Structure 1
Amino acid sequence: MNDSPGWATPGSPSDGRGSDADRPAAQPSAQPAQPAQPSDPGSGSGDSKWSAAQPPAGQWSSPAAGQTPPPAVPPQQQAPGWGTQPAPGSPYQYPGGWGGPPPAAKPGVIPLRPLGLGEILDGAVGTLRGHWRSVLSVSLVVAALSQLGLLLAQRAWLAELPVADEDLTPSQAVEVMGNTALVYAVQYYLEILGLVLVTALLAPVVSRAVLGQASTVSGTLKAVRPLAPRMLALTALMLLGAIAAVLLPTLPGILAGSAVLTALGIPVGFVLLAWFYVTFVLAPPALMLERGSAVAALKRSAKLVKGSWWRICGISLLTWLIRTITAMVIVMPFAGLALFAAPEGLSGLLDGSATRSWTFLIISAIGGVIGATVTVPMQTGVTTLLYIDQRIRREALDLELARAAGMDGYATTATERPGG
């Protein structure tokens, strides 16, 4: 029984919808079954419709005595027999190899079937390219706010630190390490916060791109506005959970004042953080597209990720690497400009005094804003498409998406779906 709430509730394969349960039962035949012949490609029926219109295989039999056999199909239109390879360009030559199913319908940026890695990445890039006004408008605002917070943290905690060529006392060295760690922690959690917000805000855009529909900035804001309180609640829960995942393993060492015990808890905290992030990474699109509560979105994400944790983790990690490398390429020219514009130049970068310069920090922040504006939507698009892919695999969401896209005659060609 399918219990998915809210947006585009599909029929579950276990309900008999979207599977062989809605086909007529095969009638027994006295003659041996013959292989079904595809309909004439020139008859006007689409590739995704003819297979659903065929009678069951058990109804195919030889004509009875006295009946006129059907006219012969011209040789150029006959289906290839067993052991023969269809000629290139033949109507029986399907993508993915001879004898495979017809291609899935593709009203938007992805085909309506379980997705591969390349299709997920291509769909995320296609959404950014085809809906760039809505995507870049949202990501620019979030990226600017994140960089502003990071800039203030850098100025507050790094501006008064001693430079590297000064003799540091043990207490000063600990202070330098602690403040630097705080800045990196702020940067990391601001990144998580930005990813959650952009994923939630752009989920309606990605869903419309999947259906092949246009989106506007005003339409996106109109769709998001009623869910803003729940979106902020979900963001706060995910941020607190990510902080707790890192702090809890180190808390015994901190309370006991043991540096060794604290150091041993750090890798455990990173493992818990990775588990937490992947388990609940689908919560933002679940909240925006199913319109439930923040807690329901977290539960929904955990349910969809269950059994596919490593696959979702691998795709998310690969996307993060691609995004990070692309952002570094974008930021490098701004870092070079900031280096030359800083009062101390290269020496200031080496001894750490450049972090005290507003010129260096502002130019670097501008580069960070541009890099995040362009690359963050790719990661958030992948997350939303992973959510859709999991529902296609488990709940036959492709049938509901096809109906939403106006493809009333669409029927899936797959009778069995890979689990997770």
Structure 2
Amino acid sequence: PGFVAPGTQPVSPLPSPQNGQPRPDAGPGASGYSQSTSWAWAAKPGIIALRPLTLSDLMSGSFAALRRNPKVLFGYTILIMAIVALVNGLAVFIPFYSLMSLSESTSDPQASYSDVLASSSLSLISMLLGYVVLFLATFLGAALINGVLSVTVSQMVIGTKITFGQAWSMVRGRLLPMIGASFLLFLIIAIPMILWAVGFLAMLIQGIESDIAYSLAGVMFLIGLPLLLALYSLSVRFLYAPICAVLEHKGPIQSLKRSWTLTSGAFWMTLGRVLLIGVVCGVIINIISTLISVIVMGAGFAFLSSASFDDPNTAWSFVVLLIITSALQTLVYSLVLPIMSAYQTLMYVDQKIRKENFAIVLAQASQGRG
């Protein structure tokens, strides 16, 4: 699944062994990768050669995917991120509107205590809802983007360029498992962090009255760094879970197990590759974000020089400026997300080639695509 050309019959995932070559399902250590010199030359039906990939192959393949199908990779990403930006704008606007109402209530001498309390409660609820909406919009948007982009890139590996409609038809039945796998991964990372933060704050507060609690807070603080490293290591081991949910048609838990299997014995290589693409994308984001910040700050200073702080419209102008800034930042991420998604999909393909001789399946799929 995921490597079948639209409109063709699926390729058998278990091709028959030839010339003593192990089956693709023979498992780690039986792929023949370390025993064969056949990788000296490999077919290249799509954006990568069908052999174990180097860092250069991963980077060039990722940018080749962007060049070959920018309409889906960039267009779809920008569309989804624009919707996310709109939702995020509302998530910012509603709490701000509630705070403005609260400010008017507290400054009104005629306002009763119940009115002020109601406004305060409404402001708090709207802020909490805003954060929840912000998280859900970002989470679902990222899941939709990663699903469609991983399918699109996987098809380009075998030389097939698909449309958004074709990609969506291949992804829509896998959305719930993919979202489930992503959510499980989020819980695995978030729950220990939340428990640590709650424990640290509780010990810190108790430390005001107890030296023992204060010492325990120090211990909790020291535990924080190893905990972060351990959780980041887990995120690397489960990196391929959403991709497995889409391309291998697995459930959420099975996808996590599958990712763990794929990264077994390849943790440091996977970590290094993830850090590399993180640095590359981080540099791109920082450069563009700096330019945006300079422009926004210039517009802000120009506005402040002529604005009156007694005018209530001034506050609303700042909200508009904040929403515009958020939209521009979203556009920046729209340019980077396709690079990251293509890179991780190719990492997944490379790992299957290394561990399971998946190049045979890809070669057969490329021959039957058309």
Q: Could you state the TM-score of these two structures normalised by the residue count of structure 2?
A: 0.69
1:10-52 deviation line (CA, Å, top 9, x unaligned): 459xxx8366358xxxxxxxxxxxxxxxxxxxxxxxxxxxxxx
- Tell me if 1:344 matches 2:344: no
Q: Structure 1 residue 364: deviation in Å? A: 1.6
Contact 2:175/2:246, CA 8 A, preserved across alignment:
no
Could you say which residue in structure 1 is the equivalent of 2:367? 406
Measure the CA separation in 2 of the matches of 1:254 and 1:19.
64
Q: Would you say how many aligned residue pairs link Structure 1 and Structure 2? A: 296
Measure the CA separation in 2 of the matches of 1:269 and 1:344.
44
Q: Structure 1 residue 240: deviation in Å? A: 2.0
Measure the CA separation in 1 of the matches of 2:195 and 2:49.
43
Paired residue type of 2:304: E
Contact 2:277/2:340, CA 8 A, preserved across alignment:
yes
Q: Structure 1 residue 185: deviation in Å? A: 12
| Structure having the larger proportion of residues in helix | 2
Measure the CA separation in 1 of the matches of 2:149 and 2:348.
13
Measure the CA separation in 2 of the matches of 1:186 and 1:19.
57
Could you say which residue in structure 1 is the equivalent of 2:328? 367
Distance verdict in 2 for CA 1:184–1:329, change over 3 Å: farther
Specify the SS of the correspondent of 1:109.
coil
Measure the CA separation in 2 of the matches of 1:126 and 1:106.
13
Could you say which residue in structure 1 is the equivalent of 2:82? 144
Who wins on radius of gyration, i.e. which is larger? Answer: 1
Paired residue type of 1:123: G
Q: Structure 1 residue 270: deviation in Å? A: 1.9
Specify the SS of the correspondent of 1:108.
coil
Distance verdict in 2 for CA 1:236–1:407, change over 3 Å: closer
Q: 1:105 aligns with which of 36, 43, 47?
A: 43
Contact 2:238/2:259, CA 8 A, preserved across alignment:
yes
Measure the CA separation in 1 of the matches of 2:218 and 2:87.
32
Contact 1:113/1:392, CA 8 A, preserved across alignment:
yes
Q: 2:166 aligns with which of 203, 219, 229?
A: 219
1:198-245 deviation line (CA, Å, top 9, x unaligned): 222211101111011111011111111111222222222222222124
Contact 1:105/1:112, CA 8 A, preserved across alignment:
yes
Alignment of structure 1 residues 116-155 onto 2, 5 Å:
116-148=54-86, 151=89
Q: Structure 1 residue 261: deviation in Å? A: 4.4
Contact 1:330/1:370, CA 8 A, preserved across alignment:
no
Paired residue type of 2:58: I
Could you say which residue in structure 1 is the equivalent of 2:232? 274
Runs of 4+ aligned residues of structure 1 deviating over 6 Å after TM superposition are 183-193, 353-356
Distance verdict in 2 for CA 1:398–1:330, change over 3 Å: same
Q: Could you state the TM-score of these two structures normalised by the residue count of structure 1?
A: 0.61
Specify the SS of the correspondent of 1:405.
helix
Measure the CA separation in 2 of the matches of 1:191 and 1:116.
32
Paired residue type of 1:401: L
RCO comparison, higher one (Cα < 8 Å, 6+):
2
Name stretches of at least 5 consecutive residues in structure 1 with no aligned partner. 1-6, 23-98, 161-182, 346-352, 409-420
Name stretches of at least 5 consecutive residues in structure 2 with no aligned partner. 1-9, 23-36, 100-129, 206-213, 306-313
Distance verdict in 2 for CA 1:19–1:110, change over 3 Å: farther
Specify the SS of the correspondent of 1:20.
coil
Contact 2:39/2:51, CA 8 A, preserved across alignment:
no
Could you say which residue in structure 2 is the equivalent of 1:318? 276
Identity over aligned residues, as a percent?
25
